[in-house]
Structure 1
């Protein structure tokens, strides 16, 4: 079984709905045969199909996690949007958090270096038994992670936990963490792990 990602240029960040609509419209079009591939295509792994202004990257399911991380990194380096139709997530170039090298990790195997804030927001809505955690990690400094039931764990020296009642509060805490705002630490009741 194969999976795919689509890479293209957008002048401003786009929503998942916009990315999905673009992906579906492009897939209905005919691929470009014999055209000179764009510069980014020379760096992308996997099997490539070229469409006008878009590159479709296909890969085996068992290689998805590793190859997707490469595609996300290459797309960002070229200032391109990347849409993941399997997860229904869009990777925009900006806005980013304040921690250079911050990583987004998910329980379903996705790893993204320097994720955009929209992606972080959208990924949190995918928490489920198939995606049992989401973490933002600034290695060597601190991290914030959440599991279904909205149990947050924050570590900066000492590990503390809090349970939040709603997804919107979790998304707000992750946004604050990513932008260097520590308001989430004073707004919620934290306790050491059992």
Structure 2
């Protein structure tokens, strides 16, 4: 079984609905054949099976077994070229901006996705996908601090580590999104808004 990602240029960040609609429209088109100088540089760098579609939309196919590794490479290459990347398997769009304040921050999910320098919209959307198939999401700044969330019967368990590990439970996903947004943008007010207990 193969899975795919789509990479293309957008002048501004787009929503998942817009990305999905673009992907479905491109899937109805026929790939284009190009040679030499007509091939975008990004096509030459992308791993997996790469097909070019009209308006320089690029589909990257990969084996399910290599999805996590190849996807991480595609996300990084797309960002380096200033391109949007849509993941139809997870129904997530990776925009170029806006980013958090920590250069090199990583987003990790329980279903195997790793994204370097994730945009804030992606972080927001990922938090809505928490489930038994995706049991956690974390923002990690290696060597400094991290924030992780997992669903629990009482709501969502947050774990924050900066020296010592502390834990808090919050009810709704909107508050989880606010905590992650605050953390990613350098706002530490989430530490006083909730009751944290040492782990």
The bucket for the TM-score relative to the shorter chain is: over 0.9
The answer to whether residue 84 in structure 2 is matched with residue 73 in structure 1 is: no
Partner of 1:178: 184
How far apart, in 2, do the equivalents of 1:146 and 1:12 lie?
Answer: 29
How far apart, in 1, do the equivalents of 2:8 and 2:117 lie?
Answer: 19
Question: Matches of residues 12-161 of structure 1 in structure 2 within 5 Å?
Answer: 12-35=12-35, 36-52=38-54, 53-149=56-152, 150-161=156-167
Cα shift readout 1:146-188 (whole Å, capped 9, x = no counterpart)? 0013100000001000000100000000000000000110001
TM-score norm. by structure 2 comes to 0.96
How far apart, in 1, do the equivalents of 2:59 and 2:65 lie?
Answer: 18
| Aligned partner of residue 197 in structure 2, secondary structure | coil
How far apart, in 2, do the equivalents of 1:79 and 1:88 lie?
Answer: 20
Cα-Cα RMSD: 0.7
Partner of 2:4: 4
Runs of at least 5 residues in structure 1 that lack an aligned partner in the other structure: none
Q: How many residues align?
A: 193
How far apart, in 2, do the equivalents of 1:148 and 1:22 lie?
Answer: 32
How far apart, in 2, do the equivalents of 1:151 and 1:37 lie?
Answer: 47
